Amino acid sequence: MTSTVPPALIFVIGAFFIPFIKGKAKSIYLLLLPVIGFINLLNIPVGTHWVVNFLDSDLIFGQVDKLSLVWGYIFHIIAFLSILYAIHIKNDLEYWATFLYAGSALGVVFSGDLISLFCFWELMTIGSACLILARRTQRAYEAAFRYTLVHVAGGLILLAGIIIHISTTGSIEFKFLGLDSPGAWLIFIGFGVNCAWPILHAWLPDAYPEATFSGAVVLSTFTTKTAVYVLARAFPGADVLILIGATMTVFPIFYALVENDLRKVLSYSLIDQVGFMVVGIGIGTELALNGVAAHAFCHILYKALLFMSMGSVLHMTGKIKATELGGLSKYMPLTSIFCIVGAASIAGLPFFNGFISKTMIIDATGTEHHNFAWLALMFASASAIIIPGIKVPYLAFFGKESNVTASEAPKNMLIAMGITAFLCFFIGVVPSTLYSILPFPVDYVPYTVAHVITKLELLLFAAAACVFLMNKGIYPEELRKIYLDTDWFYRKGGMLFLKFARCPVEWFDKHFGEAYMKVITKPGLKFSQGVWKIFDVEIVDGLVNQTAKFVRDCGEHVRQYQTGHVRNYAMMMVIGFVIILYLFIG
Amino acid sequence: MKTPQKVLYALCAVLLVFDIFIHKHGHFGWDDWFGFSAVYGIISCLVLVLGAKNLLLPLLKRDEAYYD
């Protein structure tokens, strides 16, 4: 116990040393961080650790039990794999963001109180937004901005819920909450934004496809699955989740079917898969919650693998739209094999990991006789072999010939994909490895003759029907178009609102900006100029230059945030913090 | 017809034969019927493809530059 530290600490602190290490040492450092984290995690005994007294309340940084450990393990594994996948790009901002993001996700998973949970929750938004900004295109900047605004709004709802919850119950403990108070409902909705619930989901397919080729791999792992974890801990058995989850499993596939951007297809199918987990949480039995943990574990692996394979296509060809791709299997044979493994896993074919986890949730739904939810999950399962099962590998690697040529992805990317693909297959063949770490004892046999035959029947007949429709020309071809989603309301609706609201907002922004300039910026500048003169003479140039380069790099991107919205949010955060302080002291 | 498609259709036929002999442990009764999964798979595919093509596509399709 004395030799271990909170899992979040290794990543979050470790991230800040990245810019100072150069060359080969940096690669080794980056790969070692998750390994050290994992060894640390293995040595933490189950129990409550690192309790810090803060204003008469206990902040708990180590709520370690079988539920949080499942997420802890897979988050470390995927942090290692995604860093290995991107080890050749030499982009400090991206490495830094990856560790900050993964570290804060670990912070959420192991936090035992609502206040530290909220702080890590917000830190995740910063890390993840930087992974989108790191693409350095105008579209990415705009997408990251929208992404941040949505999560800021979700964070505010969560904060409001936490404040109300604390003031009514007097407890900051993060445990089973249940939906019986307004505070709990707000917390529930705050979690739901990150979980990409229907209507609240549009940030996901809007932002993930704009991230860097490797950033999307990281993004696909943490935000939604952290939300699944907190829901599983605080709201298991909440009936409304069955309805929400069932809707999530069905509607995104329709978008995924027509979408042209292949990473957008994967984003929509991600929501669909998270829907399985949400249904499982809603059912809340031991089998269902085991299924949720298992599916989160497996889903993270095969989704990362699919995003890695599409990331390779984007990285090597610069293209990701289905209309511009095709026939890449002869240039990228290994990548296409890995993509097929990912597709087989998400479709839930026997001997791949999707099979052993998805069937648990479906069976739990059946056992509790939720017939509509069961039919929704079966529909989603059948559809998963079409979208993305057949669609993504077919359009990128086979299908019509395109004039795109490419070479196979760099070795480190292939190794990362190879390990992920192996894990997808291995867990599918030896499910006991995964079942042994699940929160409850597992009394479930995935490989029965009836399971395998009925599942194959469902999948293969759906595939055959799809092939038939393709041959007949009924299956719609991908078009160079986009499809409206609920982000329309804040993208187009927001513009309309701005037109009307511009006058008062502009007035406020102008005056606030001036005051800010006078009170903060100018004195700060004067002070820093003075300090700079001393520093420049006294301190060795090398260190300063390196720091400055990194800070300038970050600053250039952070500048995108220097707008009224985020400043207002900061103000709200301060007000919220004051309220919390008042509640504790008063 | 191409070979992979022939294999796919043949596999489907083999699975239907197996379906006669296996003993299922369904939850609702109707999910034990012969060929239920097969029919549900086909229906799912039809609903998905036709729904996307005839509802989502005409209603929500916009030019790529719509938001620019």
Average pLDDT of the segment spanning A510-531: 79
What pLDDT, on the 0 to 100 scale, is given for residue A406? Answer: 87
When scoring B11, B16, B40 by the number of chain A Cβ atoms within 10 A, the one with the most, hence best to mutate, is B40
Lowest mean pLDDT segment, chosen from A69-78, A100-109, A316-325, B1-10? B1-10
Q: pLDDT (tens digit, 9 = 90+) per residue, A416-443?
A: 999 999 999 999 999 999 999 999 999 9
Predicted confidence band at A586 (pLDDT cuts at 50, 70, 90)?
very low
User: Which of A238-242, A573-577, B25-29 is most confident?
Assistant: A238-242
Q: pLDDT (tens digit, 9 = 90+) per residue, A121-151?
A: 999 999 999 999 999 999 999 999 999 999 9
> Could you give the ipTM of this predicted complex?
0.96
Q: For B45, which of A453, A465, A492 is closest by C-beta distance? A: A465
- Cβ of A257 within 8 Å of Cβ of B15? The answer is no
E strand residue ranges, chain B: 61-63
Examine residue B45 and state whether it is found in any structural domain, yes or no. yes
Examine residue B55 and state whether it is found in any structural domain, yes or no. yes
> Tokens at residue A59, please?
């902040």
When scoring A142, A146, A250, A254 by the number of chain B Cβ atoms within 10 A, the one with the most, hence best to mutate, is A254
Domain count of chain B? 1
Examine residue B11 and state whether it is found in any structural domain, yes or no. yes
Examine residue B67 and state whether it is found in any structural domain, yes or no. no
Predicted confidence band at A517 (pLDDT cuts at 50, 70, 90)?
confident
**CA closest to B53 among chain A residues:** A476
Examine residue B66 and state whether it is found in any structural domain, yes or no. no
Pairing of strands A47-54, B61-63: unpaired
Res A583 pLDDT > 90 = no
- The SS3 call for residue A55 is coil
Predicted confidence band at A399 (pLDDT cuts at 50, 70, 90)?
confident
- Cβ of B48 within 8 Å of Cβ of A258? The answer is no
Minimal C-alpha gap between B34 and chain A (Å): 10
What pLDDT, on the 0 to 100 scale, is given for residue A314? Answer: 96
In percent, the amount of chain B with pLDDT more than 90 equals: 66
Average pLDDT of the segment spanning A176-186: 93
Q: Positive or negative CA dihedral for A236, A237, A242, A244?
A: negative
> Tokens at residue A399, please?
């299908």
Examine residue B29 and state whether it is found in any structural domain, yes or no. yes
- Cβ of A369 within 8 Å of Cβ of B27? The answer is yes
Which residues of chain A make contact with B29, given a CB cutoff of 8 A? Answer: none
Which residues of chain A make contact with B2, given a CB cutoff of 8 A? Answer: none
Q: For B8, which of A450, A454, A467 is closest by C-beta distance? A: A467
Average pLDDT of the segment spanning B15-22: 90
CA proximity to A359, closest of A301, A431, A414: A431
If 0-12 CB within 10 Å is exposed, 13-18 middle and 19+ buried, where does residue A476 land?
middle
Q: Work out the angle at residue A139's Cα, subtended by the Cα atoms of residues A133 and A144, and round it to the nearest 5 degrees.
A: 40
Which residues of chain B make contact with A482, given a CB cutoff of 8 A? Answer: 61-64, 66-67
Q: pLDDT (tens digit, 9 = 90+) per residue, A208-234?
A: 999 999 999 999 999 999 999 999 999
Minimal C-alpha gap between B61 and chain A (Å): 5
Examine residue B30 and state whether it is found in any structural domain, yes or no. yes
Average pLDDT of the segment spanning A495-524: 78
Res A264 pLDDT > 90 = yes
- Averaged pLDDT score across all residues of chain A: 90
Model confidence, pTM: 0.87
Which residues of chain B make contact with A145, given a CB cutoff of 8 A? Answer: none
Minimal C-alpha gap between B60 and chain A (Å): 5
Predicted confidence band at A545 (pLDDT cuts at 50, 70, 90)?
low
What pLDDT, on the 0 to 100 scale, is given for residue A508? Answer: 78
Q: pLDDT (tens digit, 9 = 90+) per residue, A327-351?
A: 999 999 999 999 999 999 999 999 9
Name the strand (E) or helix (H) holding A54: strand A47-54
Res A261 pLDDT > 70 = yes
- The SS3 call for residue A198 is coil
Spell B45-64 as b/e; 16+ CB within 10 A means b: bbbbbebbbeebbeebeeee
What pLDDT, on the 0 to 100 scale, is given for residue A308? Answer: 97
Res A9 pLDDT > 90 = yes
Residue B23 domain boundaries: 3-60
Examine residue B68 and state whether it is found in any structural domain, yes or no. no
CA proximity to A118, closest of A230, A2, A242: A230
What pLDDT, on the 0 to 100 scale, is given for residue A563? Answer: 52
